[in-house]
Chains A and B, each alone.
Chain A
Amino acid sequence: MIWKFLRGAALAALPAAAIAAAPVDAFAAGTLRIGMTASDIPLTTGQTDQGGEGMRFMGYTVYDALVNWDLSSADKPSVLAPGLAVEWGADEADQTKWTFKLREGVTFHDGSAFNAEAVVWNLDKLLKEDSEQYDPRQAAQGKSRIPAVASYKAVDDLTLEIVTREPDATLPYQLAWIMISSPANWEEQGKDWEKVASSPSGTGPWKLESFVPRERAELVPNPDYWDETRVPKLDRLVLLPLPEPNARSAALMSGQVDWIEAPAPDLVPALEGNGFQIVSNTLPHNWTWHLSRMEGSPWNDVNVRKAANLAIDRESLKQLLGGLMVPAKGFLPPSSQWFGEPEFDVRYDPEEARKLLAESGYGPDNRLKVKALISPSGSGQMLPLPMNEFIQQNLAEVGIDVEFEVVEWNTMINIWRAGAGSESALGTQSINFSYFIQDPFTGLIRHLSCDLIAPNGTNWGHYCDPEMDALFKEIRTTFDPEAQDEVLRRTHEKYVNDALFLMVTHDVAPRALSPKVKGFVQAQNWFQDFSPITIEE
């Protein structure tokens, strides 16, 4: 109540004062100051921590991968693009053998040359524990991103060969995670990653100039960036960790920063009304109930799964979130290149839901009872408590009574890793978990693959369907990108047609920008490009 009042009071006074007020920090024009949600500066040595946000601000800025994400369009789904490699492909005779042709004439920020040896050195940094440059911190972040890689070698200066464990056409997506840092710089810093952290060197469009742990990092443009169209237009990019949402908003409103990530949803309309730009776009993220397929789970019945999906009034939920969500039509966002044309239409149709439940023998006299695991907060979880209560209400209306087990977010991560069969799951039949779904593995394979059943992998619900596994195999063995996209579409169609999840919504990654910030294009990706941005006074 007090909060509401305060915010109201503050925002009412905004147009008169805040926007007109001079910025507090004195900086040259062309400096963009960003308030991040992370509580620390992401790891600067190459492979970042702090999840998607870390890669966005300290990965794709200072570094490049062999294969980059194309972040230039807001309208089209984001696809892979050549990065430090210009072309790549698997050998037709031996599909585990990949050749990467590397970009010529690229130099690291320290002036040393980029070549195939540097890539081998970087892979050793993550995978080879007895190599001199092995860094446990970067390995913790990077190793799990490239499970396919078995071995690698430099064929010549600009040719790299990677051998995978088994044929795996998703390798380029995996490599888009791996940031290439400079071997020469590591030598120069006394082979000490701690020292590299304060003066790192990559090939990216930005150079890290300085950073104070937990407080700020300052990046300046790399005028010699290999892609001339992506040389930053700004003079400086300042990153500030501001984990507290209200402190973040206050910093924006008082002119201390020009840009904040994830403004609180209830502040968004007011910010917008007062001249701040709210930028958002579909994001490869989803907010679902991951269903248990253990014996005895009511979700084993496809009618029940479909009924629950038809019971959710997503448009009203969108209002609850101030418009900041994309209603789910499937597991992937509707604009995804892999959405396909599923027959089951995910919509709000309580009548049909009741009919389906009746077919399975449920009705007013025999209501279905389910137990669901939720958390009060968590990374990517949006506003879990009100959203889940909304869903509980929706499901009750068609005859499904939901009992919640509420656990703290870190506990929930542990339960998610342990799987639906573990005792720690408290007998629940679903877990409300939000997913990063940017590539074939994180988007589809890891959730339902038979060999990834928890606790060995991330198939929480113990789902195993030979038909689905065959599709996953086909994704991995289809090396032509277009043909692979087609398999991915078929896979997603099966996700939706079998209603394998309670598909609720996708986040839109809202950010609030000062009206001075121009030229930002929000790609449909977790990572973003800061090069085209300018500041107009």
Chain B
Amino acid sequence: MLTYFIQRLVYVVPVSLGVSVFCFLLVHIAPGDPLTAVMPIDATAEQQAAMRAAYGFDKPLPVQFLVWLGNALTGDLGNSIATGRPVAGEVMRAVGNTLILAFAASLIGFSLGILFGFVAGYFKDTPVDRAVTALSITGVSVPNYWLGIVLVVIFSVTLGWLPSTGAGPGGSSAWKWDVEHLRFIILPAVTLSVVPMGIVARTVRALVGDILSQDFVTALAAKGMGRAGILRHVMRNVAPTTLSVVGLQLGYLLGGSILIETVFNWPGTGFLLSNAIFQRDLPLLQGTILVLALFFVFVNLLVDLVQPLVDPRIKRG
């Protein structure tokens, strides 16, 4: 187990390095000049050159990359060009806000997804199954930013029940888990939860249906085990695969959604990314992508490590 853990941990290194090279190149291939964000557009060529040198953009790309990587390894992701604030601080604040949103969305999405999946799988090929399946397919298929806009039109603009933008009174730094603030998270969280809910529901439905038709279930029933007991067995068998799907979805949620955070002006990583893209704020863009990619890598690592604990059949090491 320990060898496996170390092995998986070591794998993280080349993956992270690949991710950082890739995101650095991607950001630099894109057209546009980061200096437009910080200088009046009619600044003289001389002033632009001075600024370019001050930010190190006059050096060859490989040199820029190595400098950036060296700093990143010490936790210094540089300063945002547009705001001058340290990227690490900006990203961490945004990650905090995205975590809040991701937590709320996973609470809704995973619990409903598992519930719906179980019900549909248990009552397979009945009207209940079809209704639940239709619901989950809709969840997966509807573009969620569109759903977000529809929810805003209904609940904010027309009914005036819920706010449509922001992270509550006083901004995200004053966030509390109270009613006044939770009202702000309902619409974005519901919108964000729809896709994972659909995916989890479909996975669980297929697993439950499959497991219920296996011989050991018939054997359990023949031995006289009650419905609740059988369901407990089914649940344990469904858990490992569900966990990996949930882990993957959690990774997506933690990455923040550019579209949803933009629609709701939620100050998370997606919102930060879209601002960084529009302002050509390269250090901020690189830093944010790197942190998000690493998140993904680590959530997957975590899932891989937890899986054998849930399912003894998966032996590692």
Residues in A lying within 8 Å of B, measured CB to CB: 2, 6, 9-10, 13-14, 16-18, 20-22, 24-26, 39-40, 43, 49, 51, 136-137, 140-141, 143-145, 147, 194, 212-216, 240, 242-244, 246-247, 250-251, 253-256, 407-408, 410-411, 413-414, 416-417, 442, 446, 455-458
Max count, chain B CB within 10 A of own CB: residue among A212, A407, A446:
A212
Q: Would you call B40 and A141 a contact (CB within 8 A)?
A: yes
**Within the complex, which residue of A18, A143, A212, A213 is in contact with B158, where a contact is CB–CB below 8 Å?**
A18
Instruction: Check if A242 sits within 8 Å of B265, measured CB to CB.
Output: yes
In the complex, the answer to whether B265 meets A6 with C-beta atoms within 8 Å is: no
Residues of A within 8 A of B264 (CB): 247
Residues of A within 8 A of B44 (CB): 144, 147, 456-457
B64 within 8 A of A: no
CB distance from A110 to the nearest CB of B (A): 22
Cα(A81)–Cα(B306), bound, Å: 70
Q: Which partner residue on chain A sits nearest B149 by CB separation?
A: A6
Q: How many chain-B residues does the 8 Å CB contact rule pick out?
A: 57
**Chain B window 145-176, contacts with chain A (Cβ cutoff 8 Å), 1 for yes, 0 for no:** 01001101100111110111111011111000
Residues of B within 8 A of A (CB): 31-33, 36-45, 47-48, 51, 54, 82-85, 90, 93, 146, 149-150, 152-153, 156-160, 162-167, 169-173, 180, 183, 262-265, 267, 271-272, 275, 278-280
A304 CB to closest chain B CB (Å) equals 27
Please tell me which one of the listed residues B36, B42, B172 contacts residue A215 in the complex, with CB atoms under 8 A apart. B172
Are B153 and A6 closer than 8 Å at their CB atoms?
yes
A147 proximity list for chain B (CB < 8 A) = 44
- 23 pairs, A vs B, C-beta closer than 8 Å: A18-B158, A21-B160, A26-B180, A39-B275, A39-B278, A49-B37, A51-B40, A137-B38, A144-B47, A145-B40, A212-B172, A213-B93, A214-B271, A215-B166, A215-B167, A215-B172, A240-B166, A242-B165, A246-B263, A410-B31, A413-B33, A413-B36, A414-B33
How many contacting A-B pairs (Cβ < 8 A)?
A: 159
Looking across the interface, which residue of chain A has its beta carbon closest to that of B54?
A136
Q: Which residues of A contact B82 (CB under 8 A)?
A: 40, 49
On whether the beta carbons of B84 and A194 are closer than 8 Å, the reply is: yes
Smallest CB separation, A145 vs chain B (Å): 7
B84 partner residues in chain A, CB cutoff 8 A? 43, 137, 194
Q: Is the CB of B42 within 8 A of A446?
A: yes
> Which residues of A sit under 8 angstroms from B85, Cβ to Cβ?
194, 213
Find the A residue at minimum CB distance from B48: A417
Residues from chain B with Cβ under 8 Å of A39 in the complex: 275, 278-279
| Beta-carbon contact of A254 and B275 below 8 Å | no
Q: Which residue of B lies closest to A3 (CB)?
A: B149
Which residues does chain B contribute within 8 Å of A9, judged by CB atoms?
153
